Amino acid sequence: MSEKLNAFAELYGFLPGKGKNDHRWDGGLTYEVNENLQLDISTGIGLSKVSPDFFPSLGLSIRMP
């Protein structure tokens, strides 16, 4: 989208040794504050019965030099 603002979408899941598999889809935005700090916001939906119907997420990533 720009040098600092990006978009993403992903399909992922959890495959526990015991219990039921959990499949989800989400998408969101990342913002690069500087070369060592990134913020993100996303939202998604569950695709299996054990998954949440809807979920929001906020993130902070720090690169350790």
The DSSP string of the chain is: --SSEEEEEEEEEE--SSS--EEEEEEEEEEEEETTEEEEEEEEEE-STTS-SEEEEEEEEE---
Provide the β-strand partners of residue 27.
9, 43
Is the pTM value of this prediction over 0.95? no
Q: What is the pLDDT along the chain (65 residues), one digit of tens a residue?
A: 899 999 999 999 988 888 888 999 999 999 999 999 999 999 999 998 888 889 999 999 999 97
pLDDT given at position 51: 87
